[in-house]
Amino acid sequence: MENPEIKPKTQDASSRMSILLFFVLLVTVLCTAVVAYLNSKGIDIKEVSLKDVIENRFFIGEKDSYEIECKEIEYGANLQQEFVIHKDYIIRCTKSGIEYYDKNGEEKWLFPVALNKPLVKSSGKYLLVADLETKDIYVFSGKEKIWESRLEYSILSADINNSGYVTIVHKGDRNKSAVSVYNREGAFLFTKIKAESFVISAGVSPDTKNVIVNSVDYSGINANTGLDLYTISGGDVKGKKLENTILASLWFLNHDTIAAAGDSEIFLLSEDLDVKWSEKISGKVMSSNVMKNKYAVFAFSSREDAGILDTDKSHVLIVDEKGRKVSDYKLSQDIVNIACGESLIAVNTGKNIYFIDVAGQLRGSVSLEKDIKNVQFFNDKEALAVTREGIVVLKMK
């Protein structure tokens, strides 16, 4: 005789199993669709982190496309002039001084000073102006001059970080290459002289604890890169040699990761200068940058023999601090350089600017008649294109 209580329990178990199998099947279908969508966008789910996928909203099919409004301001092509954005001002440096303009091109302030060959950099709330011929250095915050100094030797290049720490690459005794470091108040910290190599660049880490010096040694058959890490007081930390490689650029991604680019290879280095990740490029690295202290961005050609109609002629590769690919934007044009804002990347091809996001999606583009030297960001919706004749203020709507 059948037990009437057993049958309902068997049916309940079977029903629960069916529901479970339905949800497993649903999740499988959704995951397959997500992977297929990410692959269609050039995003490798095996390499990108789940955090990047969620944070950058890679699942959203169509994001807003911006129309771009242009306001051109000309100053003349024959003048030696440099432009940079600083605290929502447009800074123009010429031989006669440092000029502050608003976004409409109206002059707001002038600091008169002779600048034979001006170099200007902006970072955070600080502005650095150096004269490569007269050896003068000026540091501002807004319209306030924080400090100024005159070096004994000629300035070759300079940089300033978000905390106002300055590194100056200059000639030393007997024309040797040297680096001098100053704090945000202009106090001299130390000088390092490189007797056997030529210094390309130097910079202070975001936490202001370390200074990295990038130099190249031509004494042998091949050119080799020498990286030297010092404490902020000038103490030796570590040195590293990269053979048959010249690093054209170095960027602090955060306090413990450095993004670097050579002619045909890209790197992520640890705070101890060990190689965390690297990738050989079949073409040529054109430009590099960092975004939000979280992503390294590299622009490169796929190969030297790419045809004019090749849609993969150039790439903008975005990786996280572990070298995991976040996205890979492909372009059929040569790239001159790139610039990074908080949420957008400006890809400059010389006549065109393409604005893409971290997911590698095109958000807007603009074509200009003038040759574009570089692009800088005011904010997520406003940018500045620098041409040989002046500037173009770009507003995304």
Question: For the range 183-186, what are the long-range contacts, defined as Cβ-Cβ under 8 Å and sequence gap of 24 or more?
Answer: 184/126, 184/139, 184/146, 185/146, 185/147, 186/139, 186/146, 186/147, 186/148, 186/149
Q: What is the pLDDT of residue 119?
A: 95
- State phi, psi for 24 to the nearest 5 degrees: -65, -45
> 247, 214 in Cβ contact below 8 A?
yes
Q: How far apart are CA 349 and CA 100, in angstroms?
A: 28
Q: What is the pLDDT of residue 234?
A: 97
Q: At a CB cut-off of 8 Å and minimum separation 6, what does 360 contact?
A: 41, 42, 43, 316, 318, 326, 327, 328, 329
Q: What domains appear along the chain, each with residue ranges and CATH number?
A: 44-74+283-397 (2.130.10.10)
Q: How far apart are CA 308 and CA 214, in angstroms?
A: 35
Closest CA relative to residue 354, chosen from 389, 314, 326, 323: 314
Return the H-helix or E-strand segment holding 387. Answer: strand 382-387
Q: What is the pLDDT of residue 41?
A: 47
Closest CA relative to residue 182, chosen from 227, 228, 148: 148
Helix (H, G, I), strand (E, B) or coil at 37: helix
Maximal C-alpha separation, the chain:
109
Q: What is the pLDDT of residue 59?
A: 46
Q: What is the pLDDT of residue 60?
A: 47
Closest CA relative to residue 252, chosen from 287, 292, 280: 292
| Ordered per-residue pLDDT tens for the chain, 397 residues | 445 555 555 556 667 667 766 666 766 666 665 555 555 444 555 545 555 555 555 544 456 789 999 999 999 776 789 999 999 999 999 999 999 999 999 999 999 999 999 999 999 999 999 999 889 999 999 999 999 999 998 999 999 999 999 999 999 888 899 999 999 999 999 999 998 899 999 999 999 999 999 999 877 778 899 999 999 999 999 999 998 889 999 999 987 899 999 999 999 999 899 999 999 999 999 999 999 889 999 999 986 655 444 567 999 999 999 999 999 999 999 999 999 999 999 999 999 999 999 999 999 999 999 999 999 999 999 999 999 999 999 999 9
